[in-house]
């Protein structure tokens, strides 16, 4: 027996070998990578990333557009470099992310700077590096940027992020488009702020931005947001303000389930692109900032089973990855799939997969049927997005290594952290 994983990633396939089935990512046996580089190990598929980016590129090809990969999702500079080579620009939310992008070979001009709390130093750094656009989230920030741009003798390129009060129907922690969320500016207020900004010599209005949340599986809130943004653009144009681009925020959600029951249909994807192409006038560029849908299912986290333990009616697989490597299950109750690298049918049992961290929240997957023995490896799926980038040194655990696979070759794109690196900035 093996699973059909095509919903999650067409690059993950079981191949029959000897008596059992062995898991491949592109054309590489994952067991070999786990043995060669050790675990926990993040492995990414170059082909998956390229294919997912091209879905957006093709969907918008008939209209002037920009695809701004959201760096927070997975910020390894090798991936950024790869995405840049493939035509992506970047959405950054801190000076650190902007510096990563610059390091990866892109220019500040190819970046948009998002986030509610940019500091003076960050705004100065962005302007000095000719940032493409700064997405403004409040009148205070707008005034502050104006002051900074004036003192630097620069004209700051801006877009105001509107909060359309639309429920994205996603996890409350990653829903951003309601008035009770800290993000954006109420549309009516934004209209007034545009009029104010228009009069400032050191501000240059470029567009309107809107991002209502992440892991959105029902596209209707996205379609509604598109309508509201276009409506505001028309009002602004009527008042004499030129709008060069409309930025619709992050991408569509991905499937985390083995059976694909949470997969967004091809028709829904189609309606998303159709809405953008229908409503946005040709002379205005469409910008989007997808992340999860580009790298999420292009990554797996490999981990080794250390101990199997029975307790009451619970079976635990205690592995060498933990919540510090993959926080999503603890933080959002996210359901990542866990599968064997080599399938042994007769050992099947239902496990909670937990790490060694001293917290009950240290679970990576619960209630998963696996045929495993101690020292076997398993893969946690959908680990390309918001996994390494959310990782930490909690419990003084070293950060994992990362490997990028391209067909039958693998290259290390982050070495496993050493103890010396972990304590390097501490003073005795
Ligand atoms: N643009 C902005 C302004 C954002 O805040 C985000 C994500 C994106 C774009 C990218 O959205 P995507 O295409 O990935 O859905 N850590 C959470 C997700 C946090 C989302 C933060 N903002 C998780 O693991 O589910």
Tell me if 53 is assigned to some domain. no
**386: domain range?**
12-45+297-422
Same domain as 277, residue 172? yes
Same domain as 147, residue 246? yes
* Active site residues per annotation: 358
- Cβ-contact 173, 187 below 8 angstroms: no
Summarised one tens digit per residue, pLDDT across range 207-256 is 999 999 999 999 999 999 999 999 999 999 999 999 999 999 999 999 99
Q: What is the mean pLDDT of the chain?
A: 96
Strand partners for 207: 159, 245
Q: Check residue 263 and report its DSSP letter.
A: P
Provide the pLDDT for residue 7: 82
Tell me if 68 is assigned to some domain. no
Pairing of strands 401-406, 409-414: antiparallel
Summarised one tens digit per residue, pLDDT across range 369-390 is 999 999 999 999 999 999 999 9
> Mutation test of ligand 1: which of 53, 55, 73 has the most ligand atoms closer than 8 Å to its C-beta?
73
Rounded to the nearest angstrom, the distance between the alpha carbon of 172 and the centre of ligand 1 is 13
Greater confidence, 355 or 166?
355
Tell me which residue has its CA closest to atom 23 in ligand 1: 386
Tell me if 108 is assigned to some domain. no
What is the rounded average pLDDT of the residues 190-215? 97
**Domain with 396 in it: what CATH number?**
2.40.37.10
Task: Say if pTM beats, i.e. exceeds, 0.95.
Answer: yes
Query: Of 230, 260, 290, which closes a domain?
Result: 290
Q: Which residues contact 194 (CB under 8 A, 6 or more apart)?
A: 160, 205, 236, 239, 241
What lines the ligand 1 site, CB under 6 Å? 70, 73, 91, 114, 174, 211, 214-215, 249-251, 289-293, 328, 332, 386
Provide the pLDDT for residue 184: 93
Q: Which residues contact 199 (CB under 8 A, 6 or more apart)?
A: none
Tell me if 109 is assigned to some domain. no
What are the backbone dihedrals phi and psi of residue 156, each rounded to the nearest 5 degrees, phi first? -85, 125
Alpha-carbon distance 126 to 131, whole Å? 5
What is the rounded average pLDDT of the residues 42-57? 97
What is the rounded average pLDDT of the residues 287-303? 98
Provide the pLDDT for residue 1: 61
Same domain as 309, residue 188? no
What is the rounded average pLDDT of the residues 346-360? 95
Rounded to the nearest angstrom, the distance between the alpha carbon of 420 and the centre of ligand 1 is 32
Q: At which residue do the structure tokens 């567009």 appear? A: 207
Q: Kindly list the distances between the CA atom of residue 346 and the CA atoms of 305, 337, 368, 376, in Å, as whole numbers in the listed order.
A: 18, 20, 15, 15
Q: Check residue 39 and report its DSSP letter.
A: S
Q: Check residue 224 and report its DSSP letter.
A: H
Q: Is the pLDDT of residue 312 over 80?
A: yes
Same domain as 251, residue 176? yes
What is the rounded average pLDDT of the residues 319-324? 98
Rounded to the nearest angstrom, the distance between the alpha carbon of 68 and the centre of ligand 1 is 12
> Mutation test of ligand 1: which of 52, 72, 168 has the most ligand atoms closer than 8 Å to its C-beta?
72
Query: Of 245, 275, 290, which closes a domain?
Result: 290
Rounded to the nearest angstrom, the distance between the alpha carbon of 252 and the centre of ligand 1 is 10
Handedness of CA 400, 25, 327, 49 (dihedral sign): positive
Q: What is the CA radius of gyration of the chain?
A: 23
Strand partners for 350: 369
Tell me if 247 is assigned to some domain. yes
How far does the chain reach from its first CA to its final CA, in angstroms?
55
Provide the pLDDT for residue 347: 84
Same domain as 272, residue 124? yes
Beta-strand ranges (E) seen in 54-110 are 65-70, 89-92
Q: Kindly list the distances between the CA atom of residue 268 and the CA atoms of 75, 274, 281, in Å, as whole numbers in the listed order.
A: 28, 10, 22
Tell me which residue has its CA closest to atom 24 in ligand 1: 386
Q: Check residue 108 and report its DSSP letter.
A: G
Structure tokens at 427: 């003073």
């Amino acid at each position: 027996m093996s699973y059909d994983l095509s919903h999650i990633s067409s690059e993950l396939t079981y191949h029959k070998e000897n008596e059992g089935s062995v898991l491949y990512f592109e054309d590489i046996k994952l067991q070999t990578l786990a043995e060669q580089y050790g675990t926990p190990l993040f492995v990414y598929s170059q082909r998956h990333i390229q294919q997912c980016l091209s879905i957006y590129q093709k969907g918008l090809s008939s209209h002037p557009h920009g695809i701004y990969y959201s760096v927070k999702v997975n910020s390894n500079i090798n991936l950024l470099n790869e995405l840049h080579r493939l035509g992506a620009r970047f959405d950054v939310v801190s000076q650190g992310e902007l510096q990563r992008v610059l390091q990866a070979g892109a220019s500040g001009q190819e970046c948009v700077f998002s986030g509610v709390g940019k500091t003076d130093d960050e705004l100065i750094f962005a302007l000095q590096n000719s940032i493409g656009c700064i997405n403004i989230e409040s009148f205070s920030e707008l005034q502050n940027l104006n002051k900074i741009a004036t003192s630097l003798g620069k004209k700051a390129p801006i877009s105001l992020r509107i909060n359309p009060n639309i429920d994205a129907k996603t996890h409350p922690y990653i829903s951003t488009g309601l008035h009770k969320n800290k993000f954006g500016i109420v549309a009516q207020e934004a209209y007034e702020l545009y009029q104010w900004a228009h009069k400032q010599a050191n501000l240059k209005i470029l567009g309107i931005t809107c991002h209502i949340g992440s892991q959105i599986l029902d596209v209707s809130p996205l379609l509604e947001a598109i309508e509201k943004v276009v409506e505001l653009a028309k009002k602004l144009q009527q008042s004499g303000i030129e709008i060069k681009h409309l930025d619709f925020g992050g991408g569509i959600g991905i499937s985390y389930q083995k059976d694909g029951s949470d997969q967004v249909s091809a028709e829904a994807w189609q309606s998303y692109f159709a809405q953008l192409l229908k409503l946005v006038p040709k002379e205005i560029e469409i910008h989007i900032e997808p992340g999860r849908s580009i790298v999420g299912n292009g990554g797996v986290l490999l981990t080794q089973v250390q101990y199997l333990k029975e307790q009451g009616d619970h079976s635990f697989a205690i592995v060498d990855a933990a919540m510090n490597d993959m926080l999503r299950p603890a933080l959002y109750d996210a359901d990542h799939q866990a599968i064997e690298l080599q399938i042994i049918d007769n050992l099947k049992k239902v496990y909670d997969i937990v790490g060694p961290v001293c917290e009950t929240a240290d679970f990576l997957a619960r209630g998963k049927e696996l045929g495993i023995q101690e020292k076997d490896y398993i893969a946690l799926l959908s680990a390309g997005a918001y996994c390494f980038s959310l990782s930490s040194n909690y419990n003084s655990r070293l950060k994992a290594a990362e490997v990028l696979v391209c067909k039958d070759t693998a290259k290390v794109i982050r070495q496993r952290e050493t103890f010396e690196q972990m304590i390097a900035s501490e003073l005795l």
